[in-house]
Structure 1
Amino acid sequence: MKNHDLVLGTAGHIDHGKSSLILALTGTDPDRLSEEKQRGITIELGFARLSLDDGTTLGVVDVPGHEKFVRQMISGSTGIDMALLCIAADDGVMPQTTEHLAVLELLRIPTLVVALTKTDLVDDEWVEFMIDEVKGRLAGGPYENAEIIAVSSRTGEGLDDLKAALGRAAKATKRQKASDSTRLPIDRVFTIKGAGTVITGTLWSGAVSIGDELEVLPSGRMSRVRSIQIHGESVNRAEAGHRVALNLNALSTEEVRPGDFLAAPHTVTATDRFDADFTYLGLSSSDKPLESGARVHVSHGTREVTGRILCIGDEQGFKPGERAYAQIRLDEELPVSWQDHFIVRSYSPVHVIGGGVVLRAHPKRSTTATPEKIALLDALRDGDGDRAAECAFNLEKAPVTCEGIVHAAGCSQAAARRALESLEKSRKAVRLKSDQAGSSVYFTTPRFVQKMRSTIENALLAFHNENPTSTGMSKEALRQKAAVRLSPDCFDALLADAQAAKHAVVNGGEVCHPQAGAGAQALEKQAAEALLAALREADGSPATLDEIFSSCKIEPSLGRRAIASLEKAGEAVRITKELAFSTEALAQFEQAVRTRLADGASASAAELRDAMGTTRKYAIPLLEYFDDKGITRRSGDERVLTGR
C-alpha cells in the first residue's frame, strides 16, 4: 500500500491550534464555513492535502475540538489511518484531549504523532515539562511510543520536524480496511450547478471508477459515478485511502445524506443489530457498571444512531475497563461489516464511554452464550476468517450455502469456500445439490442428512397409507409435511439426496416411496389399460370419462390419473374435460377433415360431421379441438384448413 493512500486526522481540545497547524503545514485553511471564521472554532470537518519532503502525500481531515461537536470528530476519525493529536503547551491535557484520545484508541488508529502547539507562548523549560506530562498520559497505552514534536504555527518553529515525524509514522502505517469491496461513508452532500449532486468522503476500501454503479445504504438506491475528484483534481479512478468527491447521477440531495454509505451493489446489507467485541471505559466521574440493555448512542462511519447494548452471556452489566462480547440493537439500521470499528456514547448526558469492533453483522436476536457461539465470536475477534466460517457452519441447524456462511460470519467468499471444502473432505459436511437448473449448492452435517432421509421416507409412507390408490404426493405437499421451514430450493437438494439413497422416487413434480408406491402404480397401470380398451372399443363414439370410470369400476381420482398417463404416453387425447378418444380414432377424424377441406375447399360443421361419419354430439367438440390446435380455422359459418 502506498503512503499517499493514507489519511491523517487531527484530534485535540478546542482552541489547541489544530486548524492553524494544518494551515501552516499545508497552506489550506480547513475552516470552510463563515460561521467557523466568525467563532474561531471548527464546527464541521475540514480537508486538506499535506505533501511531505520524502514525496509522501497525506489527505488531512481536520475535526472539531469543541465538546458539542464530538460527534463530528468521531465521524471524521472513522476513515483515518494515522492521527495528529494537538495539545497546546499553555493548556496541557484537557477534557476533549482525553475524549479524543479515547476515540482514537477505541477506533484502533494504529499510529499517532503528538504536536505540542503554541510553544511561542511558553518558555523552553515549560515545553519540556509539558512533553513529560504528555508522555505520562500516553504511558501504558497503545501510543506510549508516539513522537512528541514542539511546534508553533505562528513562528514556524518545529514544522519541519513535525513533517519528518509524520513521514516516519506514514512509513510505519498500513491501511486497516483493505478488503476489495468498495465502501465509502459519506460526510458531505451538496449540489454544484450544472453537475448535480456531489458527495465527499474517505474511501474505506476497494476502488471506484467513472461509470461504476454504487448502492446508497441504508436506502438501497442505485447511482452511477459521473466524475471523481481527489483534492480538487479530476481523476478516472480512486483507490482506498483517498479523500474523494464523487458526482452522482439520478440522486437528489434529499435521497443521499451525510451519514449514508456508498458500496458496491449488493455487497453490504444494513442491519438493526450486531455482535461486537466491546470495551467499556466507564461513565465520567463514576465507577458504576453499564447495565445490560442501557440506551446509548452508536457511531459507525459518519452516522450516529441510538440503540441498546446488551451483555452476551449471564452478566448483568459491563464494568469500567472491561472488554466483553456484546450485542448492540439499533433503532435505525447501519451498514456494518466484520472488523468495522464503532464508538459508543452515553445516552444522556452524552460522553464517550466505549467502543469496539463489529464481529457478526447479522446475528440472531439473542444474547445466549452457547459454546458454539462463543467459538465463532472468538474466531471473528482473532481475525481468523477460515475458522469463523467453520464455526458459523457448526451453528447452522439447516443446510446452508457458501453465501449463507459469508452472511452469517461476515468472512470472505474464499474463506467460506475453504472452510466448507475442508469440512467436506473430513466428512463433517455433506454437499447437496438438486437436479433443478440454477439451484444452489448446500452444505449440512451427515446427521442432518440422515434425519431428513428418515423424515421424507416416513412422510411418504404415511401418505401412501392414507391414500393407497395414489401414486404419490406433490413435492410442495411433501415439503409442507416434512420440512416446511426449508426453502423449496433447499428441499429439492435434500430430496435429490433421498432419491439417490433410495428413500424416495421423484417423477416430475410427484414423489412416492419406492415400495409403497409400487402397488398404486400397478393399479394405475391396470386402470389405464382398461380405459384404453374401452376407448378403442367405442370406435370413435366413446362415453364420457365418468361413465367409462363407472362401467370399468375405476375410482374417479385413479381414473383421471390413468387418463393423464395415457395422454403422456401418446395413446389417448382428451378433447374436453369429459371426452377422450384413442389416438387412432382421433387421427381418423382429423384425416377425414383434411380430405374434405383439401385444395382450399371450405365446409360447414354439418358437412364436416358427415365427412367424419359421426354425430353432432362428437362433431362439434372435435371441430373446436381442431380449431384450438390450429388445424382448421373458422371463416364465417364454414371452416378451412390453416395449412398446418
Structure 2
Amino acid sequence: MSEHANAAVPDLVLGTAGHIDHGKSTLVQTLTGTDPDRLAEEKQRGITIELGFAQLVLPDGTAMGVVDVPGHEKFVRQMIAGSTGIDVALLCIAADDGIMPQTEEHLAVLELLAIPTCVVALTKCDLVDDEWAAFMADEVRGRLASTPYANADVVPVSSRTGAGLDELRAAIQKAAHATARRAASSTLRLPIDRSFTIKGAGTVITGTLWSGIAAVGDEVEIMPAGTRTRIRSVQVHGKPVDAAAAGHRTALNLNAVSTEQVRPGDFLCTPGSVVPTDHFDVDLTYLGTPGNDKPLESGSRVHVAHGTKECIGRVLLMDGLPSIAPGQKATAQIRTEEDLPVSYGDRFVIRSYSPVHVVGGGVVLRAHPRRTTTINEGDKALLEALRSGDEAAAVQAAFAQAEYPVSAGEIAQATGLSAARAAKELAALVEARNAQRISTGNASAELFTTKRQLQKLSKAIENALLKFHAANPAATGIAKDALRQSVMPKASAEAFAAVLASAQASGQAVMCDGLVSHPQAGAGARVLEEQNAQKLSDILREAGVKPPFAADLFAQADLAPKQAYKALGVLEKQGRIEKVNDDLFFDSQAFAALKTAVAEQLADGPASATELKDAMGLSRKHAIPVLEHLDGTGFTRRVGDARELVK
C-alpha cells in the first residue's frame, strides 16, 4: 500500500444539516476544495439529491471526513442516512432566511441520533448587514438554548467573499477536540451509503465505520441477506490503506459480490456478530410535528430509519399505553416489515407514514425480545437498566429472568452487551454468591445458575421420571432427549446435561446406555444398585486385606450411606464381599486368604489373637473384627485367651 492509516486512531466525521438553498454544498466546496454534488442532476437543479463526500483539513492538520446531505424536504431520508455516524454537525442557516422548516427537521434528527456536537454556520452573510446578522445569530442561539447544542458556536460566514471561513474552521476544530472518540469494539459494523462498480476492480461500497476495524483480507457479512465476502482493498479519503478504524469514512472493494447483492441501506458486519430482527424494544421520544398536538397512537404505521436504511414499521407502546403526546417518552416495541441489523444502543428516527415528517426516534434497548408489549417486573428492570446504561444491573436482571442455566453468550444476547462484559458481570455475581458455575464438560460452554434453580430443575427431572415409570412400568428408562423435551424444552443441550448431572449426583436420576431412569423405579433402581455395587467392589478388591472402614469407603465411592449399604447388600448376596460388621467389608477373595492364614496357624493347635494377627498380616484394628466374625460364623472358637479351629 502507498500509505498506511493508523487504524487505532479514528477520524471524526463532519456532517452538514440545514434547509434547502442555505448554502451547505457551496460551503463544503469552499472549505474543502471538493464539490460534493457529484450527480449531473444535482448540478443542473442546484440542490443536493444524494449524499456528497469530501475531506476537510483543519488548521492543526486534523483531517475530517465530510458528509453533505440534502436539505430539500423530499430528501430527508437521505439526510438521516447521511447523519448516521457523524460526530460533529455543521448546521447551515442562511442569514437572509433564518430558521426554516427543514432546519427544524434536521435539528430534530441531530438530537434523535444523539450527534455529540454542533457548529452553526450563519451563511450568506454578504447578503445582509452586520446588524441583521447579529440579530439572526441571537435568534439561532435562542432556538438552540433548549437543545443539547445550547453552547454551539454560531459563526457568520460568506462562501462568496470568504468572510468568516477561518473562524468557522477554528470553531469546527474546537468542536472536534471536544468530541469523544468512539468506544473501541472488535465487532465491525458499517452502514452502507453507496454501492457502485469500478471497472477492473469490481464492487465498491462506502460508509462510516460505526465500530471495529476493516482490514484487507478480512471476511465480512452483508446484512440482512447474510452474504459473506472478503475485503480486497481499503481506502480512506481516497488513499489506499491496510485498515480503517471506527470513525473513518471508508471505501471498501469487496470480492465476488455485485451491486445487486450489496446495496445502500445494507450493513457490513463481522460474520456471525449480528442477527437481523423485525421487532425490537426501544426507548422512544415522540416530538410530533410543528403546529400539531396530535398524539402518537399505539399501533401507528411509521417510517423507521436505522443506519442508512428506512423501512415501514409499527410502533406498539408497552403495557397497554394507548398513546403519547408530543414531547413525551415511552418504552415501545417497533415491528418492521423488513429485518434490520439493530443492536443495543443504536439510534433510530421515525417519520410519520403520510404525510412524511420526522416525528420522533430514540435508542434500541433490546434487539431480540419476545414479540409482546406486555412486560413483567423483570422485563421492566432489564429495560430500565439498559436505558440508564447500568451494565451490571442489566446482567443481573437478565440472569434473574433466565428459566434455565445460561452462558455468558446467552446473557450477552439478552442484554445486547458483549460476551466478555456479560462474563465479567456473571463472575461478579458468583463472587457475591448470587450465582454459581456449573460444569458442562466443555470448558468453553460454562454455565451459570442459582442453587434454587438447580434444585427446582433437578426435582422436575425426578418428577418426570416417576411419571414416566408409572406410565411405562416395563420400560428400562426414557431417552435423554425425550426427557429434555419433557422437562426443559427450550434449554440448550449443555444446560440440560448440566442439570441432569446434578440430578444424578443427588440420587434423583440414573443414566445407563443412553437411557435415564429414576433410582427407585424398577429397572432404574437395579441399574443404580449395580453401578454403586461395582464402585464399592472395585475399591474393596484394590484394597485387598486392608480395606477402608465404612466412612472412608463411602467417601471414596462418592455415595451416601443409604445408597452404599444397599449396594453392599447386593454384593454380599452375590458372594462378592464378606461383611465382617457394619463398619468393615472385605473382597471375598481377600477374606478367603485371611481364613486360610488363620487355618494354617491353628493347624498345630490353639493360638493367641496376637499370633493370629501376625499370621494374617493385619493391624489390631482390622484383625479383632475379623477374628470375632470367624467366631460368629463357627469357623473358630475361643478357648480362654486363645482360639482353635472348629472341627
TM-score grouping bracket, smaller chain normalisation: 0.7 to 0.9
Question: Following TM superposition, by how much is the alpha carbon of 1:439 offset from its aligned partner in structure 2, in angstroms?
Answer: 7.8
The answer (yes or no) to whether the contact 2:234–2:252 under 8 Å persists in 1 is: yes
The answer (yes or no) to whether the contact 2:36–2:52 under 8 Å persists in 1 is: yes
The answer (yes or no) to whether the contact 1:225–1:246 under 8 Å persists in 2 is: yes
Question: Following TM superposition, by how much is the alpha carbon of 1:387 offset from its aligned partner in structure 2, in angstroms?
Answer: 1.7
Instruction: Tell me the residue number matched to 2:262.
Output: 256
Count of residue correspondences? 524
Question: Following TM superposition, by how much is the alpha carbon of 1:420 offset from its aligned partner in structure 2, in angstroms?
Answer: 1.7
1:448 corresponds to 2:453: yes
Letter paired with 2:515: E
1:406 corresponds to 2:423: no
Equivalent residue in structure 1 for 2:23, among 9, 12, 17:
17
Equivalent residue in structure 2 for 1:46, among 15, 33, 52:
52
SS at structure 1 position matched to 2:312:
strand
The answer (yes or no) to whether the contact 2:316–2:333 under 8 Å persists in 1 is: yes
Instruction: Tell me the residue number matched to 2:632.
Output: none
Instruction: Tell me the residue number matched to 2:33.
Output: 27
1:75-122 residue CA offsets vs partner (Å, 9 max, x unmatched): 000110110000001111000001000100111111000000001111
Instruction: Tell me the residue number matched to 1:553.
Output: none
Question: Following TM superposition, by how much is the alpha carbon of 1:234 offset from its aligned partner in structure 2, in angstroms?
Answer: 0.7
Instruction: Tell me the residue number matched to 2:520.
Output: 515
Equivalent residue in structure 2 for 1:265, among 251, 271, 274:
271
Q: Aligned pair in 2 of structure 1 residues 104, 419: CA closer, same or farther (>3 Å)?
A: same
Instruction: Tell me the residue number matched to 2:329.
Output: 323
> TM-score, normalised to structure 1's length?
0.78
Q: Aligned pair in 2 of structure 1 residues 523, 63: CA closer, same or farther (>3 Å)?
A: closer
Question: Following TM superposition, by how much is the alpha carbon of 1:421 offset from its aligned partner in structure 2, in angstroms?
Answer: 1.9
Question: Following TM superposition, by how much is the alpha carbon of 1:177 offset from its aligned partner in structure 2, in angstroms?
Answer: 5.4
1:322-351 residue CA offsets vs partner (Å, 9 max, x unmatched): 122111111111101111110010000000
Instruction: Tell me the residue number matched to 1:64.
Output: 70
| Structure-1 separation of matches of 2:97 and 2:274 | 44
The answer (yes or no) to whether the contact 2:512–2:527 under 8 Å persists in 1 is: no
Question: Following TM superposition, by how much is the alpha carbon of 1:468 offset from its aligned partner in structure 2, in angstroms?
Answer: 4.4
Letter paired with 2:514: G
| Structure-1 separation of matches of 2:205 and 2:524 | 71
Equivalent residue in structure 2 for 1:85, among 71, 86, 91:
91
Question: Following TM superposition, by how much is the alpha carbon of 1:458 offset from its aligned partner in structure 2, in angstroms?
Answer: 2.0
SS at structure 1 position matched to 2:516:
strand
1:537-592 residue CA offsets vs partner (Å, 9 max, x unmatched): xxxxxxxxxxxxxxxxxxxxxxxxxxxxxxxxxxxxxxxxxxxxxxxxxxxxxxxx
Question: Following TM superposition, by how much is the alpha carbon of 1:487 offset from its aligned partner in structure 2, in angstroms?
Answer: 3.6
SS at structure 2 position matched to 1:420:
helix
Q: Aligned pair in 2 of structure 1 residues 34, 385: CA closer, same or farther (>3 Å)?
A: same
SS at structure 2 position matched to 1:516:
coil
Instruction: Tell me the residue number matched to 2:372.
Output: 366
Question: Following TM superposition, by how much is the alpha carbon of 1:501 offset from its aligned partner in structure 2, in angstroms?
Answer: 1.6
| Structure-1 separation of matches of 2:527 and 2:124 | 99
The answer (yes or no) to whether the contact 1:3–1:57 under 8 Å persists in 2 is: no
Q: Aligned pair in 2 of structure 1 residues 303, 177: CA closer, same or farther (>3 Å)?
A: farther
The answer (yes or no) to whether the contact 1:471–1:520 under 8 Å persists in 2 is: no
Instruction: Tell me the residue number matched to 1:614.
Output: none
Question: Following TM superposition, by how much is the alpha carbon of 1:232 offset from its aligned partner in structure 2, in angstroms?
Answer: 1.1
The answer (yes or no) to whether the contact 1:82–1:112 under 8 Å persists in 2 is: yes
1:503 corresponds to 2:494: no
Please report the RMSD computed on the Cα atoms of aligned residues, expressed in angstroms: 2.0
The answer (yes or no) to whether the contact 1:3–1:171 under 8 Å persists in 2 is: no
SS at structure 1 position matched to 2:114:
coil
Which is worse superposed, 338-347 or 450-459? 450-459
The answer (yes or no) to whether the contact 2:88–2:118 under 8 Å persists in 1 is: yes
Which is worse superposed, 418-427 or 1-10? 1-10
Equivalent residue in structure 1 for 2:143, among 137, 147, 169:
137
The answer (yes or no) to whether the contact 1:84–1:114 under 8 Å persists in 2 is: yes
Instruction: Tell me the residue number matched to 1:209.
Output: 215
Instruction: Tell me the residue number matched to 1:611.
Output: none
The answer (yes or no) to whether the contact 1:81–1:176 under 8 Å persists in 2 is: no
Which is worse superposed, 500-509 or 218-227? 500-509
The answer (yes or no) to whether the contact 1:186–1:302 under 8 Å persists in 2 is: yes
SS at structure 2 position matched to 1:184:
strand
1:494 corresponds to 2:505: no
Q: Aligned pair in 2 of structure 1 residues 522, 510: CA closer, same or farther (>3 Å)?
A: closer
Question: Following TM superposition, by how much is the alpha carbon of 1:231 offset from its aligned partner in structure 2, in angstroms?
Answer: 1.4
Equivalent residue in structure 2 for 1:481, among 482, 486, 499:
486
SS at structure 1 position matched to 2:319:
coil
Instruction: Tell me the residue number matched to 1:384.
Output: 390
The answer (yes or no) to whether the contact 1:434–1:494 under 8 Å persists in 2 is: no
Which is worse superposed, 339-348 or 499-508? 499-508
Structure 1 residues not aligned, in runs of 5+: 526-644
| Structure-2 separation of matches of 1:434 and 1:173 | 46
1:277 corresponds to 2:280: no
Alignment of 1:140-539 (within 5 A): 140-176=146-182, 178-435=184-441, 440-517=445-522, 521=526
Letter paired with 1:458: N
| Structure-1 separation of matches of 2:522 and 2:425 | 40
Q: Aligned pair in 2 of structure 1 residues 296, 486: CA closer, same or farther (>3 Å)?
A: same
| Structure-1 separation of matches of 2:150 and 2:482 | 67
1:123 corresponds to 2:155: no
1:400-456 residue CA offsets vs partner (Å, 9 max, x unmatched): 221111111101212211222222333433433334x58833323333222221121
SS at structure 2 position matched to 1:226:
strand
1:211-253 residue CA offsets vs partner (Å, 9 max, x unmatched): 0000000000000000111111111111111111100012111
Which is worse superposed, 510-519 or 255-264? 510-519
SS at structure 2 position matched to 1:521:
helix
